[in-house]
């Protein structure tokens, strides 16, 4: 009986697995030519000072306009690109385009760029970052590289070595999606991050979960004592912002400040500051 069920399961699942696999292969193939066909572009998401509402910088978020599928989410295609060599030229394209754009902004705000763990294993990311800073003329302190703990999971000592060399260039290093992984606290001990970004999942639950509140409070206090300023991700409401302002969480990012947009605007600052002040 078990055998028959087993076969039944296999029959039921195989076509689906084939489909997922074929789907993945198709995306992989299209990703290989996405850059040369000009299908990639950036959206910019503002980051604000929690107290004043002043916009202090923008995070570059990658978008892919697929010829037949429309705009594909990075949550879908980045993991696929990471499974092939495609992530390397794509990551390089993002870095170069983001730095070029930022070098021309009307205010010298911070430009945050996400790095994939794979970019740490292939080629010399330090050489690449250095070359792009020279090429674009962007001052190193304006560039903030966002890494997730995936970077540190594989080979901790080589990752730390690379991070130290990046820091020596003068760029900032932020720990992204903090609180969602396994041993984040030990990473904070091994490397002096310039910033910690608390994951949006905790912010989302602030109003409903006393636990989330306690965790956010503790992470902000931890960042303060480790001299690592905090950015809260996924801030959508004035209530969330008020709680974070009270804790002295330095920066906020999320729909309350602004949605990802193809254009950068520092103008939100005044209206935003007023909106904050009036509540």
Binding residues vs ligand C2E (CB under 6 A): 45, 61-62, 73-75, 78, 91, 94, 114-116, 146, 176-177, 200, 233-236, 253-255, 260
In contact, 229 and 49? CB cutoff 8 Å:
no
Q: How many residues bind Mg ion (CB under 5 A)?
A: 5
From the list Mg ion, ligand C2E, none, pick the one residue 53 interacts with, judged by a Cβ distance below 5 to 8 Å according to partner type. Answer: none
- Residue 14 Cβ vs ligand C2E, minimum distance, rounded to whole Å: 30
Applying CB under 5 A, among 30, 92, 144, 176 the residue interacting with Mg ion is 176
Closest CB to Mg ion among residues 34, 45: 45
**Length of the chain measured in residues:** 279
CA torsion through residues 189, 194, 199, 203, sign: positive
Instruction: Give the separation between CA 208 and CA 215, rounded to whole angstroms.
Output: 13
Span near Mg ion by CB under 5 A; candidates 3-11, 174-182, 218-226, 239-247: 174-182
Instruction: Give the separation between CA 45 and CA 114, rounded to whole angstroms.
Output: 12
Closest CB to ligand C2E among residues 13, 255: 255
In contact, 257 and 47? CB cutoff 8 Å:
yes
Angle made by CA atoms 233, 74, 184, in degrees to the nearest 5: 45
Site string for Mg ion, 230-249 (x = CB under 5 A): ---x----------------
Largest CA distance in the chain: 71
- Residue 12 Cβ vs ligand C2E, minimum distance, rounded to whole Å: 32
From the list Mg ion, ligand C2E, none, pick the one residue 251 interacts with, judged by a Cβ distance below 5 to 8 Å according to partner type. Answer: none
Closest CB to ligand C2E among residues 13, 229: 229
- Residue 191 Cβ vs ligand C2E, minimum distance, rounded to whole Å: 19
Site string for Mg ion, 177-216 (x = CB under 5 A): x---------------------------------------
250 CB contacts (<8 Å, ≥6 apart)? 49, 50, 229, 230, 231
CA separation, residue 171 to residues 45, 54, 81, 84, 147 (Å): 20, 22, 25, 27, 13
Residue 38 has φ and ψ, to the nearest 5°, of 60, 35
Q: What radius of gyration do the chain's Cα atoms show? A: 21
Residue 47, H or E segment: strand 40-49
Closest CB to Mg ion among residues 176, 250: 176
Which positions from 95 through 134 interact with Mg ion, judged by CB under 5 A? 114
Q: Is residue 144 a contact point for Mg ion (CB under 5 A)?
A: no
From the list ligand C2E, Mg ion, none, pick the one residue 116 interacts with, judged by a Cβ distance below 5 to 8 Å according to partner type. Answer: ligand C2E
Applying CB under 5 A, among 30, 146, 149, 250 the residue interacting with Mg ion is 146
In contact, 248 and 29? CB cutoff 8 Å:
no
In contact, 62 and 40? CB cutoff 8 Å:
yes
Closest CB to ligand C2E among residues 79, 141: 79
Binding residues for Mg ion, rule: CB under 5 A, are: 114, 146, 176-177, 233
């Amino acid at each position: 009986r078990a055998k028959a069920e087993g076969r039944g399961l296999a029959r039921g699942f195989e076509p689906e697995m084939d489909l997922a696999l074929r789907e993945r292969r198709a995306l992989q193939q299209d990703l290989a030519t996405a850059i040369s066909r000009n299908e990639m572009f950036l959206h910019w998401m503002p980051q604000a000072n929690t107290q004043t509402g002043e916009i202090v910088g923008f995070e570059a978020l990658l978008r892919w306009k697929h010829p037949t599928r429309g705009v594909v989410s990075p949550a879908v295609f980045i993991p696929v690109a990471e499974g092939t060599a495609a992530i390397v030229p794509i990551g390089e394209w993002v870095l170069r385009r983001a730095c070029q754009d930022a070098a021309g902004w009307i205010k010298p705000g911070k430009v945050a760029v996400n790095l994939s763990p794979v970019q740490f294993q292939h080629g010399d990311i330090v050489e690449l970052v250095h070359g792009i800073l020279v090429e674009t003329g962007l001052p190193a302190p304006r560039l903030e590289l966002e890494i997730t703990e995936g970077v540190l999971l594989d080979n901790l000592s080589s990752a730390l070595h690379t991070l130290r060399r990046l820091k020596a260039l003068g760029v900032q290093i932020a720990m992204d999606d903090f609180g969602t992984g396994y041993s984040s606290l030990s990473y904070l001990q091994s490397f002096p991050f310039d910033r910690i970004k608390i994951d949006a999942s905790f912010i989302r639950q602030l109003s409903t979960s006393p636990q989330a509140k306690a965790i956010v409070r503790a992470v902000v206090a931890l960042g303060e004592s480790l001299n690592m300023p905090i950015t809260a991700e996924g801030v959508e409401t004035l209530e969330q912002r008020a709680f974070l302002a009270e804790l002295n969480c330095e920066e906020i990012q999320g729909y309350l400040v602004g949605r990802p947009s193809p254009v950068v605007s520092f103008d939100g600052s005044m209206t935003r500051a007023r909106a904050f002040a009036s509540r």
